[in-house]
Structure 1
Amino acid sequence: MQKIGIFGGTFDPIHYGHIELARCMRDQLQLDEVRLIPTGLPPHREMPPVSPQQRFDWVKAAIVGETGLMADDREVRRNGYCYTIDTLIELQQDTPDALLVWLIGADSWLNLNRWHRWRELLDMGHLLIAARPDYAFEGLSPDLSEEFARRCVIANTDTLSRGKISLLSSPLMPVSSTLVREMLARGEDVSALTPVWRQLESSGLYRF
């Protein structure tokens, strides 16, 4: 069975932390590919000031030469809000025999019960939660706690299965899109934080 990793986000902008997470998914779970999917119009946050197409172009440039990592523009091309459930359904229709392994951050997991059709989401594939090994899920709602207890398995190649949840143990890098934007706004060097620093600096889009 083909195993496809799904890593969505605003990528505003993409940085080495994103790429390391994608590599970690690919390598730890021996995924056939990992698709990085920049969101178009996010339903749970304000629209980033940089266009979806520009963010997609940066993602595509950032992963050149990365084996098994792909940039997917389906949400960029979509009209209206980009709900994760719609993206996963579309991907499953495109690859009916594949297992979808989709990644979210720990903060997103804490609010997953506010997402559109969130219970259906949990049955669409194997959910990975990116968190440090010592991360404490404080404030987790009772319904999410129940789902986690019922579905949680250790993340490895043998346990990957639709409807399961695992923690992805990864060395989260001390970098964020917010930090990159702030440094660019101050005119500081971000070459150690993102592979597309030249494009970011020349665009002038984060300078205020």
Structure 2
Amino acid sequence: MNTLGIYGGSFDPVHNGHLAFARCLRDTFALPEVRLIPTGLPPHRTALRVSPQQRLDWVRLAIAGEPGLAVDDREVRREGYSYTIDTLTALQAEYPETLLVWLIGADSLAGLAGWHRWRELLDLGHLVVAARPGFAFDRLSAEISREYAKRLVTAAPETLARGKISQLPSPLTTISSTELREKLARGENVSALTPIADELSASGLYRTTP
């Protein structure tokens, strides 16, 4: 079975936690490739301070030399809102014989009922959920909890199937883009949080203090 890993997000900006999740997705399911897809115009967030092209460039720089990780610019090139259903549908049309293995954070799972055509999303591929420390799966809404429970399978290459869900056995990380932005705003050293610390600091795009 052909497989392709998909990891979308704002990556505002990209950090070590993102890379840890992408590597774990690749390794857990023995995927030949995981594509990181920076969001262009996200429908669920206010306008981002940094341009889609800049975030894309930073992701490309962050994964340079990483085996099995690639960047996809389709949402940056797309006009209008970037809906996950459109991205996955387009990828499936391009690779009709390939199972899409797509990763989201547990916080996104909790809000999935607010996503565009979310029920169709669950049948477009194998959904993988990455949780941060302290996330409580038993606090999901009733309808999301039902879908999660009936579709859940162990995270392993042999369980991959369309319409199933797995929890990523990820190295739990507390790193967040919010924390990274806050440190950059104060002009702090962020080399422990991201592989592109020098580029982020030099850009001055998140800096709010002199």
> TM-score over 0.5 for the alignment?
yes
Number of aligned residue pairs: give it.
Answer: 208
In structure 1, the residue matched to 2:175 is: 175
TM-score by length of 2: 0.96
Output the aligned Cα RMSD.
1.2
Distance 2:6 2:24 in 1: 12
Per-residue CA shift, 1:32-67, capped at 9, x if unaligned? 100000000001111211000000000000000100
> Do structure 1's residue 51 and structure 2's residue 78 form an aligned pair?
no
Report the counterpart of residue 82 of structure 2 in structure 1. Answer: 82
Tell me which moved more, 131-140 or 56-65: 131-140
Q: What corresponds to 2:107 in structure 1? A: 107
Aligned partner of 1:14 in structure 2 is: 14
Which structure 2 segments of 5+ residues have no match? Answer: none
Match of 1:70 in 2: 70
Is 1:155 the counterpart of 2:151 in the alignment? no
TM-score, reference length from structure 1: 0.97
Amino acid at match of 1:206: Y
- The share of aligned pairs that are identical, in percent, is 64
Range moving further from structure 2, 190-199 or 134-143:
134-143
Offset at residue 136 of structure 1 (A): 2.0
Question: How much has 1:174 moved relative to structure 2?
Answer: 2.6
Please state whether the residue corresponding to 2:96 is helix, strand or coil.
coil
SS of the residue 2:156 aligns to: coil
Mapped pair 1:32 → 2:32: yes
Can you give the 5+ residue segments of structure 1 that lack an aligned partner in the other structure? none
Whether 1:190 and 2:190 are equivalent positions in the alignment is yes
1:50 partner letter: V
TM-superposed deviation, 1:95: 1.0
Kept in 1: contact 2:132–2:174 (CA 8 A): no
Shift of 1:192: 1.2
User: How far apart, CA to CA, are the structure 1 residues paired with 2:135 and 2:50?
Assistant: 32
CA deviations over 1:152-195 (Å, ceiling 9, x no partner)? 11111110000001111111223111111111111111111111
